[in-house]
Amino acid sequence: MPFMEEQNNQQNHYSRRSISFERSKLPNFLISVKLKYVKLGYHYLISNAMYLVLIPLLGVASVHLSTFSIKDLIQIYENLKFNFVSMLICTSLVVFLATLYFMSRPRGIYLVDFACYKPQKDLQVTREIFVERSILTKAFTEETLSFQKKILERSGLGQKTYLPPAIMRVPPNPCMAEARKEAEEVMFGAIDEVLQKTGVKAKDIGILVVNCSLFNPTPSLSAMIVNHYKLRGNILSYNLGGMGCSAGLISIDLAKQLLQVHPNSYALVVSMENITLNWYFGNDRSMLVPNCLFRMGGAAVLLSNKPRDRLRSKYQLVHTVRTHKGADNKSYGCVFQEEDDTKQVGVSLSKDLMAVAGEALKTNITTLGPLVLPMSEQLLFFGTLVARKIFKMKIKPYIPDFKLAFEHFCIHAGGRAVLDELEKNLDLSDWHMEPSRMTLNRFGNTSSSSLWYELAYTEAKGRIKKGDRTWQIAFGSGFKCNSAVWKALKTINPAKEKNPWIDEIHEFPVHVPKVSKVIGS
């Protein structure tokens, strides 16, 4: 009986953790929409838009006053100077409305500039080198080596992605010293570049937010940056760990909240993942997929709430929307760090990952819709939704066209499967998906920093024009889905840009053929 119980537990373990290797499809999340998330989007719009009501009122009053002649103003003054109470009420009302407007208006959050780390050429790893070094480790069976080859062929990764020296060395040397060395190279490389591009001194940074999901040493990564750049003693520093690939936008949202209450400040956001100590040397297939997808990379973003920085900044942050599905057990466990049967630690991907991602995306997009969609799209969407949900009418649901809300899309390059399904669900073109696909091809899945490689690609192509809106969307363990909306404050001239794509942008886009079977990622 104890043996049978242990065998059943093992079967339950594999049914819970094993990943489906047939083509997984993202649910059509724009058809099965929940009304409560639409209401949540409108709640965000109303609760954060008091100043949008005050602006028209002040505008109408200003237009009306502009029609008054000097004679009219003198007449009003003559009528009011002997009516102290009326004058006091009018003056108090004007002061009250002006105070209410300036107090309720959120501070503008500007992205001054950002930088993506590009490793040295000698760290590039082709598919052939990856397989060769995997064989030399003698950690993998013939079956799992064959499995990894298939994953690499179908992953969407190209031949120029990067891995840290500790992993590619023969034999590999995954240790704390090497992991720190990788973290320093990535973080300092990105920060040095962004400080150089903006001309901001390290001492001027008042807020520091660092996110890295799997590597959290003591002292923290944020402390490592403070020590290296000798940042000031009263800096507000935060280190976010274990939050997955969507942590980059969580860091942006945290910096945004801090900048709302700390005037005249710079915030530095650093997003990265560490490969050295998180390489899996076992044979559980559900844990081998991350080895084939994740690669070395990181980004540094400088934000400001100083009004004078608006003139030199690239973008203004318009919205952030965060969705967390961790209360659901299936969502919580679909990306899980644990030990396999041989006590090797790895990150396991569940067969439910695509379904969970679809539900999180549906929630996030439904909440975001009322904030960004044109009124015509909202009326059509909301009307059909009410007809179907409340009046039970059998009509075809209306799928909003998000291309009317955004010019550019930066979708986390987590894997080929999700990109394929999102392209279909959002009815996006190859042009819209190009930054995500090319980032996956050139740099692999760099976790939370992938969105910035995608935005850098769009800039290098000369696509960013003044007034353009860009939608960044990422998802990660927990399970979370987060969005950020940026508005371009100026046209980006690629000839004046320094980013990881500039020297080779003429080589892209490359053709990435679609396959009938891909691995859920």
Where in the sequence numbering do the catalytic residues fall? 245, 324, 408, 412, 445
Angstrom distance (rounded) from CA 425 to CA 27: 8
- Could you tell me the sign of the dihedral formed by the alpha carbons of 64, 65, 70, 74, in that order? positive
Main-chain dihedrals φ then ψ at residue 228, nearest 5 degrees: -65, -40
The token duo for 156 is 């969407």
Helix (H, G, I), strand (E, B) or coil at 24: coil
Angstrom distance (rounded) from CA 366 to CA 35: 9
Angstrom distance (rounded) from CA 297 to CA 462: 23
Bridge pairing between strands 205-211 and 236-240: parallel
The token duo for 197 is 């591009």
Main-chain dihedrals φ then ψ at residue 5, nearest 5 degrees: -65, -40
What residues contact 178, with CB distance under 8 A and at least 6 apart? 164, 165, 166, 276
Angstrom distance (rounded) from CA 340 to CA 288: 11
Total residues found in the chain within this entry: 521
Helix (H, G, I), strand (E, B) or coil at 409: strand
**In which element (H, E) is residue 349 found?**
strand 345-349
Give the largest CA-CA distance in the chain: 101
Angle at the Cα of 411 from the Cα atoms of 405 and 416, rounded to 5 degrees: 135
**Single-letter code of the amino acid located at 173:** N
Angstrom distance (rounded) from CA 183 to CA 196: 20
**Single-letter code of the amino acid located at 59:** G
